[in-house]
A = this chain, B = another copy of it.
């Protein structure tokens, strides 16, 4: 088969559409004939050489895909060859085929095209596991997500709003903020010329945010803690602006607050299976009812993955950038 490979780490041009050995599904796995994949920031880090795949994972880029079941590994009875699915991957989505544990395979929600379903697994699993399973966002609470117009942001806004939370977000342009409002954000803050700490405090009568989903990292750590409400939970899922920050334990203690950080990719199989099952049970119905949309910015043929990476690095997009075959 063909896959995007990165013979030596570097910029977008380091990616090549190359012939590689065909994957085979192991016990408990299925083989998916990939129809589409999607770009995640982690792919860019892997391309640059700073985010190696976990042990046992495919060496190729791509943390999610959609496609059709092409073959069943031993012990798999849940799917039939030809079924349309999407899947959470530890790697290997930028390829014609990928083998994946059956517990990470999901049906395509009704009303979503097979191509667009490629943009669902990472954002749905990340938001559900962090905001709802780990941080236990409750109806009536205040939720803040940074990068509201990102794939993660667009999913987080919609799910939190549907859950009955007051939703705040940051983004970097008027057009992005407008889209966040359409998706359900109550409070939108342009981080380029405004202070989210003050805006969230004002908009919530000084209450602050009960749950914050952050992919900025160190540069926002202090201000995020400042923004937390009593019993608040800060969940860090990315470090776009630094990994080592100052933590004011006194402020954390006074608020009985917590800072946690988690990724999906390196989780053991049982945790991934639990998350995927919860997503199919909780997020898929919200999509099928029309309450939650898959926000796709644009689609790029997989062989031109470099263009897609350039687009994501330029941060002009809203929602997901997909790679199609």
Contacts and interface: CB of A to CB of B under 8 A. Distances in A.
Interface of A: 217-218, 221, 236-237, 239, 242-250, 252-254, 256-263, 266-267
A249 B221 CA distance: 9
Contact of A249 (B236, B266, B267): B236
A246 B245 CA distance: 6
Given A247-B247, A249-B218, A259 B258 contact: yes
A256 B262 contact: yes
Contact of A267 (B217, B256, B258): B256
Contacts of A263: 253-254, 256
A234 B136 CA distance: 19
Interface of A is mostly: mixed
Nearest to A268: B230
23 contacts: A218-B249, A221-B247, A221-B249, A236-B249, A237-B253, A239-B250, A239-B253, A243-B249, A244-B246, A244-B247, A244-B248, A245-B247, A246-B246, A247-B259, A249-B261, A252-B260, A253-B261, A253-B262, A254-B263, A256-B261, A258-B260, A258-B261, A259-B260
Tallying the copies of this chain within the complex gives: 2
Nearest to A260: B258
A60 to B, nearest CB: 22
Given A239-B250, A257-B261, 6 more contacts: A239-B249, A244-B246, A245-B247, A252-B259, A256-B261, A256-B263
Contact of A243 (B218, B221, B248, B260): B248
Which interface residue of A252, A260, A266 has the most chain B CB atoms within 10 A? A260
A258 to B, nearest CB: 3
Contacts of A239: 249-250, 253
